[in-house]
Structure 1
Amino acid sequence: MSLRPRTRSAFHRLAGFALAGLFAATVGAWTTGNAWAAETAPLAPVTVAHAETNPAHDLSMHGSDLHAQTDHEHEPFVVAYVEGGPFVDYQRVLAGVAKGLETMGWIEDGDVPMPEGTESAEPIWNWLSEHAGGRIVFAKDGFYSAGWDESNRDEMFAAIGKMKHVDAILAFGTWAGTEFSKLPDGKRTTPVVVASVTNALESGIVKSLERSGVPNLVASIEPDRYPRQLSIFQSVFWFRKLGIAYEDTPAGRGSIALKALENTAMSLGIELIRCTDRFDVADVNVAAARLKACHRQLVERGAQAVYLTANVGLTADTAADVLEPLIEAKLPTFSQVGSFDVENGALLSISEVNLADEGAFSAGQLVRILEGQSPEAINQRYEGAVSLAVNLETAKRIGWEPPLEILVAVDEFYPKREDGETDAADDVEAAEQTPGEDAEP
């Protein structure tokens, strides 16, 4: 049984609020749960840079001083990148870092072309190493990925330690951030900026929201991100039973911020309908088949909407098949990951703008380190804007006509026309330029 969305009259009772105010009023003050994103990405071969060897370096490249060491009046700063494995959000956040550095005048060119046909951030890094210019060097031999294989950890960190000179490290995702936070004190001498992680506090990477409590490390934390997503979703569709699929292991629960989702659901009076299976597997097709089976179960068990968590089985190649049971049942979906899933068939999510802003925030932290501030003293609280992505084809298939109040809240519409726009985008622009009274009181 499908759930009917709010009527237009209900939305008009909210008229007069700006987008952020409309949704923020429903959020409340929640704290987010454990980290979610990185651990569920597909496995990939390890990428180990061929750095020049210096056995004395390990990870303590700069002695005991925790500030960047380059004489920046004469030489650019050198930055390296570390991730647990490829994940599509890392591309967008890294591109946001680059644009933020350009805006602040630290690199000359931050307009990174987004790679196609891959979730890897390595093409972006390679482009920056060739084209960024300015006061920061993105080391050509400084991109490290463990390919989501724990057995590659020691080899990867040994390679990092052999780099001749690094002023700071960008650690993307919970896996990489956790590894750096666990290093013994004697190896915590290179500054680390942890980016694109669900909640660095709940995952144990840092010790407090405002300050990291780790001498050489700083992270970005958006404490209300996932409670806000859930609240936005329910403010659009009055559901009481929300379906959710995940792997019921410590890593699986942490990787989707389950604790935060449970707390928020309880606050909103939402019953979580759960389906669990083993999704963190190397074979994407196996994960996709399991996820599709879960979606069928959620429909059969009476879910009125589904919150799509980060999952190995939900990719550009598998999304159409995996989401079909939900679309056939006319259930609205909201992706935890972002607009990448919306482009591939999910109904709603936050827009790519949010990820770019998150990257710009991390860029600001990096600049403060390179200017001489201690990582531990740098603010970590990030407050993202409220902006949405919507798939209009999916909306049509489930029988939902987004009201204008929702359309004006959207930064990204899918699918796009050949000119890169959508019919809905034209309608919104026309409505914004044409004054008139509401049709309903």
Structure 2
Amino acid sequence: MHVATQAPQPEAAQFSGFPGAAAAGAVPQTGPQSARPASIRCSFCRLPLLSSLVLLLFLVTGAQPAAGETNQQAVTKRIGYLEAGPFWLYERTWSAFQSAMARKDGIRCDYPQDAFISPGWAPENMKTLPDRAAELMRRNDLDLVVGMGTAAVKALLAANNGKTPILGMGMADPIAAGVVVSAQDSGVDNFTCRVTVDRWSSMFRVFYDVVRFRKMGIMYNDSPEGQVYSAVDDARAIASELGFSLAEYGGLSSSESAEECGKGLEALRAQGMDAFFIGPLNCFDIEGSSMAPLLGQLNAWKIPTFARDGSEYVKAGALMGFSTWDFAPTGQFLSNLAHAMLSGTQPRSLSMLVRSEPSIALNLATAKAIGFDFPFDVLVTADELHETITLPDPNANQ
């Protein structure tokens, strides 16, 4: 932060005998001419002090960059990007990261269009992900490559050239996905990411403590990445620990289309689910067109729902969920990692661990619609209470 200070006035301006003193604003002396030699001698005897002050003033003011000079002198770094396909969490995380990087001193980021790769979620497009990852890792003009989502990060690590720094983002659980060795060690010298521990197990505990369901429905693409996205292992572990059962549907393709999800919900209902976990599925994309009718169907069946990804879903009609997903701190944390990597720090040496206390959002209108009464202590301790069902504005983030 630049703090403006008042520059010291040159010492010589106090003496009429120093050339230019009057021009500097000193008041000319009056009186006998015999006093002038003493004044002149005094001025010259102070010249070393004057020179020191002028030099100090020059160093203080000259060392400060002019407006815009910092950006002009910033080193340009080129950043590549890979995702399997578009998803609202990816878009907002990426935007928060770019905003945070723009505030960093000494570095100007360039995001080449030909280094932004998003093949798409269709199975035939997903097959190209390894080749697209290898394409980025072969390039010599990129200073950093971002992998957004578990599938993209795994593809980049499989094609790793061992040199270009890789930064992982948007992963549900890097540890469960086998992307990192532990919360303290990425296991790969040129790779790091953000790790939050125990978030998903806490989510299932909270949902069960409030609703006390018998069988929770969960839907996923039956691939290693798909099971990680939907926290299937955590759900199974907590179900075994707390004594409820799971109704599982693993028949989604990587597209996770509205039609597939509709069939999945019907199958889960046939299995007797009496609660449903809304995971990060494409059909439940908060900015997509299929989320509202799917959520409406669940409410019509009077099925309590828990949304993993923030209060936007609770506002839109989910019964409860983790409250506001604040992307700014996430973007700041990731930008700190990127800045350190681009400044020469080994990625593996950087701290990945983030600890966060979950906060809860509830929708009272949904509770009334499905005939559910929240316990009083839950209402008192909730972080957000929504009294209406409000669908998101599709143009809000365009």
SS of 1:135 mapped into structure 2:
strand
Greater alpha carbon shift after TM alignment, 133-142 vs 370-379: 133-142
**Counterparts of 2:360 and 2:332 in 1: how far apart (Å)?**
19
Per the alignment, residue 277 of structure 2 pairs with 307
Judging by fraction of residues, say which structure has more helix. 2
**Counterparts of 1:236 and 1:417 in 2: how far apart (Å)?**
24
Shift of 1:383: 1.5
Matches within 5 A, 1:411-430: 411=384, 413=386, 415-416=389-390
**Counterparts of 1:406 and 1:334 in 2: how far apart (Å)?**
16
* Contact 2:166–2:190 (CA under 8 A) maintained in structure 1: yes
Shift of 1:290: 1.2
Per the alignment, residue 61 of structure 1 pairs with none
2:304 maps to a residue whose letter is P
1:228 aligns with 2:202: yes
Unaligned runs of at least 5 residues, structure 1? 1-71, 108-132, 419-441
Per the alignment, residue 359 of structure 2 pairs with 387
1:147 aligns with 2:124: no
* Contact 1:106–1:136 (CA under 8 A) maintained in structure 2: no
TM-score (norm 1): 0.63
* Contact 2:309–2:321 (CA under 8 A) maintained in structure 1: yes
Per the alignment, residue 4 of structure 1 pairs with none
RMSD value over aligned CA atoms?
3.2
Shift of 1:243: 2.4
Per the alignment, residue 326 of structure 1 pairs with 298
Which of the residues 293, 310, 315 maps onto 1:338? 310
Matches within 5 A, 1:36-435: 74-101=74-101, 105-106=103-104, 135-148=108-121, 149-153=125-129, 155-157=131-133, 159-161=135-137, 165-184=141-160, 187-272=161-246, 274-280=247-253, 282=255, 284-298=257-271, 301=272, 303-315=273-285, 316-400=288-372, 403=376, 406=379, 409-411=382-384, 413=386, 415-416=389-390
Shift of 1:375: 0.3
Q: Provide Cα deviations, 1:230-266, integer angstroms capped at 9, x if missing partner.
A: 1221232233432223344544433322112211222
Number of equivalenced pairs: 315
**Counterparts of 1:336 and 1:416 in 2: how far apart (Å)?**
18
**Counterparts of 1:237 and 1:154 in 2: how far apart (Å)?**
42
**Counterparts of 2:154 and 2:283 in 1: how far apart (Å)?**
24
* Contact 1:353–1:387 (CA under 8 A) maintained in structure 2: no
SS of 1:384 mapped into structure 2:
coil
Shift of 1:377: 0.7
2:339 maps to a residue whose letter is V
2:144 maps to a residue whose letter is A
1:281/1:208 CA distance change after superposition, 3 Å = closer
TM-score (norm 2): 0.69
Structure having the higher Rg: 2
Shift of 1:210: 0.4
Shift of 1:407: 6.5
* Contact 1:90–1:172 (CA under 8 A) maintained in structure 2: yes
Unaligned runs of at least 5 residues, structure 2? 1-71, 393-398
SS of 2:352 mapped into structure 1:
coil
Higher relative contact order (CA 8 A, sep 6+): 1
**Counterparts of 2:148 and 2:254 in 1: how far apart (Å)?**
21
**Counterparts of 2:144 and 2:128 in 1: how far apart (Å)?**
22
1:231 maps to a residue whose letter is R
